[in-house]
Amino acid sequence: MFFICIECYVDRQIDAVFEGGGIKGIAHLGAAQAFLDKGYSFRRVAGSSAGAMVAALLGAGYSGAEAFSAIKSISEDDVTKGSHLHHFLGKAVKTVLSYGLYGTQAFENIIASLLKEKGVVTFSDTKSEVKVAVADISEKRVFTFPDDLPFFGIDPKAFPVARAVAMSAAFPGFFEPFTLKDTEGRTHYLVDGGLMANLPLYIFNASPSLFGLKLGKSNQYNKINAFHGYITMLAETALDSEDLECSARALSRGARIFELPTEITDDNGQQKKVSTLEFSLTETERKALYTGGYNAVKGRI
């Protein structure tokens, strides 16, 4: 009698697309670890905003658990420090002059440092193929980096991955936009990819080996008392949008989309919905997000 292991013939290399969602993106790292623990490997990865960061870390060779350990203590101050103009001129003047409360250099430096630990600087260095969605508000279109970099006269293989991630996460109003000149000399303002494609499934051809990882949404009422709160809810509203047509097309071709929970038990034992820019989460609360993502995927693959 012969025993046939059906699972042995299943392609364990997958493509994964990660939705944007700020701090909630920690759940993606738990989901990624669940795939790895089940014997899957990432052939190609893509994402917008926080999803772009996750894709970059996985593409560099981090496991979900390693990446979580590396970023679990990063605070809002870490991401926004070094914005000296903000301190001297004040938030209002800073925002008017540079179109954002904070610069992106500190965030880019954090990502660059993490990637360098794995020997990754440019897109040519990644272990798995990495794609990042970036919104161009000058032409109201979405670019996929590194593929679309020749539009700006830039060699795709020589572009820093960390810079592309920072572009994809530059939410308008909170972070300053990036600018690039195209080959005709026109200036383009580049911002958070999630504004136009928060779950950019279009990047890869839909197939049974394609997985989309989206983050749970919240429709609860939120009282807005200050500008920071306004920016937070603006981010929530923009990034909660979904291209239903793109998702339906991917599903019809065999792709699978998993929704990861973003409701956790806080340090006081209360249930709470995590918001996009809630960088004040404790390490215990961040661990709860990670574990929720892990469990949501582990039981479905």
Contact indicator for 182, 152 with CB cutoff of 8 Å? yes
- Angle CA(145)–CA(149)–CA(150) in degrees, nearest 5? 150
Distances (CA, A) of 49 to 13, 21, 25, 191, 295: 24, 7, 9, 9, 23
Say how many residues make up the chain.
Answer: 301
Tokens of 100: 């954002």
- How many angstroms separate the CA atoms of 260 and 212, rounded? 10
Beta bridge partner(s), residue 273: 263
- How many angstroms separate the CA atoms of 155 and 142, rounded? 19
Residues in CB range of 30: below 8 A, 6 or more apart: 64, 68, 260, 289, 290, 291, 292, 293, 294, 295, 296, 297
- How many angstroms separate the CA atoms of 226 and 229, rounded? 5
Residue 287: count other Cβ atoms within 10 Å of its Cβ. 16
DSSP code at position 150: G
**Residues with a known catalytic role:** 49, 192
Nearest Cα residue to 134 out of 158, 152, 122, 121: 152
Nearest Cα residue to 176 out of 64, 79, 45: 79
